[in-house]
Chains A and B, each alone.
Chain A
Amino acid sequence: MIFFRTLFKTKGEAISFAVFVALIAIILPLALPIFRLNLVGKYLSYGFVAIGLVLLWGRCGILSLGQGVFFGLGGYCMAMFLKLEASDPVSTSIQTTPGIPDFMDWNQITQLPWFWEPFKSFTFASCAVFLLPGLIAFIIGWAMFRRRVGGVYFAIITQAIALILSLGIDGNQGFTGGRNGITDLKTLLGWDIRTTGAQYTLYFLCVFLLLASALLAKYIINTRFGRVLMAMRDREDRVRFSGYDVAMCRTFVFALAAMLSGLGGALFVLQVGFMSPSLVGIIPSIEMVIFTAVGGRLSVIGAILGCLIVNFGKTAFSEAYPDAWLYLMGGTFIAVVMFFPDGLAGILDKSGTLKAKLSTLGTGLMKKLKPAESAEKASAAVAEIPKTAEP
């Protein structure tokens, strides 16, 4: 029960989470044909990045414009394993060198590069999906947060990293598949991932992992650690003077967000069947920030819904009016940033608050409904926590 309380501060939160679970786990699979459901699965795999951004950007105040890097790393780890499985010596016997991926053969490479070797193992590949993005994020975060780099500098440097990785993958066609990416992925441990049954299974796997990640994020947000994060966002110096290791906390959240993004990338590859540098660079990285901003940067569920809504809008609108899509996207984004910085979730919250005000429940209930958002409350929470509870 206490655990449940930590996850959901109010009844409203629990109800909205239940509605969300019902939507993606029951209603959508029943209502949509498998082609559309597969699309939803693809959008939900961006949801992992959005959860990471809620923790990192909404709660920690650190905007990373390089989340595509981690999404891409996770995706490439999975794609490399699947590609090696798809290019066994029998099915690639027409190549000059059978047993290596086709794009390597096209680029006159005769031996599998050393960094591909470990991806023959499923255990290694599935661990690398989390650990590689996590490790790289840890190194980047540690180097930067130690030196108190934050804000816009962090955004620009992570954006440059996204550019470097996408150009690097693009430019090394023989080793990475270049601009076309890694395509023609067929089976996972002998199980054909292209059949309808497999697509359903993968969709539910994606939903399950997404909900688990969402609960993990909600748990982190509602514990003391989450409040410390928010206090760091609002009054960094006070938290530092209270004895917390600000750099370590931020590095942890950055690495966690990266691991979630990597998981999303792997699920993307499994459901869509390819990976390419167009999902790594600057534009996808910023688009993921857009999804989060539209949905609500403070709300886990809101951010995931943001991914669904913006992507459905993109698919529907850009099919009908391809020219006007960028106007709409740009305009929506400006409007959201300027007038609704907390996104759709913020609008819903406000209307909820309004209703509560209209009813005669009084201000006491209002306080209960509102989680400790303000700087004062958060820093008060910090002051309450004894030193030994340092995360």
Chain B
Amino acid sequence: MQGAAETLFFLSAPLSFCSARPSGALTLPHIQLSPPMESYSWEDLQNIFLMQGFAGISLFSVLLLMGLGLAVIFGQMGVINMAHGEFMALGAYTVYLCSTLTAEYAPSFGPYYFVVAIFIAFIVCALVGAAVEWLMIRRLYHRPLDTLLATWGLSLIMQQTFRSTFGAREVTPTLPEWLMGSYSPKEGLDIPINGMFVLGLAIAVSFALLLFMYKSSFGLRLRATVQNRKMSGAVGINTNSVDRLAFALGCGIAGIAGAAFTTIGSTGPDSGSRYIVDAFLVVVFGGAASLMGSLASAFGIAQAQSILEFFLEGTKGKVATLLVIVVALMIRPQGLFPSKVRAH
């Protein structure tokens, strides 16, 4: 890992962003549709960046959680999981199911169910992930391009399963009271609580994952397997079970991403596929084997999209962001934080 100081820097970057309070009044300026850049004063721009920055934090958190899951599966194991978005949707549907069941059978538990639902989403996705690994992925490790195609087939099946189980319409779980509303430390500045909660969740998961990867014996075995599979097998590491656990872990984190996603949007059968390209770009742009890189690139991509969306109408902000990343990847294919290890 790239040193504790760097970790702290990246983790504190979004936090310091939230607490920044410039002196000017924080009201959104009244502006007509996409005026030229010069018509904004410096103060206006500051406010716009701050407000859009807050909006981007929710997107950042979801992308980060998606990216972390993929970074484990893709970066560590070299498997392309095209169904990763569907695992996210599975997590979101699990939360929805928990919400419905709580409202039905234990209404008094309502305010707290969400925290439990996050764990359940993690466990459900991890179990399904382990099953998928056992049935499909483990037969394809030597053909990475084919895992991509097989998991695409899986994603079609999962999408149709969601559609026949929950219907084609988008669903939203009932969120507990304490997640709604916003915190206003100051006139005109509204910090949405769900955004902060999701950010906290994403950071907690990142920390837990870092600890798990670098301090636990499983993490040690996983890193050893990535570096040299044959040698790890020779020293007595059961590489098959390491693979299965890693895949399950990645899918489980996607489930948490799904739980986070329910706080910012409603879930439909194809919700997951809308995020899959962004999530892959987060991982590739960050540097495939680097969790730190995923963190940095998720933040960059989410903030760029969110801020550009304000100045460019419609999907142009997203197009511009993706274009910049693709061009950057052509010039620097190894990403932001290339791994120093030559993995084979």
Contact = CB atoms under 8 A, between A and B. Distances in A.
A171 B316 contact: yes
A326 B149 CA distance: 15
B302 to A, nearest CB: 16
B62 to A, nearest CB: 17
Contacts of A148: 333
B107 interface: no
A152 B153 contact: no
Interface stretch (B190-198, B207-215, B257-265, B319-327): B319-327
Interface string A32-66: 00000000000000000000000000000101000
A330 B153 contact: yes
B144 A152 contact: yes
Grouping DSSP codes into helix (H, G, I), strand (E, B) and loop, the A interface class, with mixed when no group exceeds half, is: helix
Interface residues of A, number: 40
Contacts of A333: 149-150, 152-153, 156
Interface stretch (A162-170, A364-372, A380-388): A162-170
Nearest to B284: A156
B326 A334 contact: no
- Of the listed residues A157, A289, A327, A332, the one surrounded by the most CB atoms of chain B closer than 10 A to its CB is A157
A140 B315 contact: no
A203 B315 CA distance: 37
A124 interface: no
Contacts of A327: 156-157, 160
A348 interface: no
A329 interface: yes
Nearest to A142: B330
Interface string B100-143: 00000000000000000000000000000000000010011001
B148 A155 contact: yes
Nearest to A62: B145
B146 A155 contact: no
A69 B339 CA distance: 31
Interface in A134-156: 140, 143-144, 147-149, 151-153, 155-156
Interface in A51-97: 61, 63
Contacts of B154: 330, 334
A160 interface: yes
Contacts of B157: 326-327, 330-331, 334
11 contacts: A63-B145, A144-B333, A160-B280, A163-B277, A164-B319, A164-B326, A167-B322, A289-B149, A290-B152, A326-B156, A331-B157
* In the complex, the 3 A-B pairs of residues with the closest C-beta atoms, listed nearest first: A330-B156, A333-B153, A326-B160
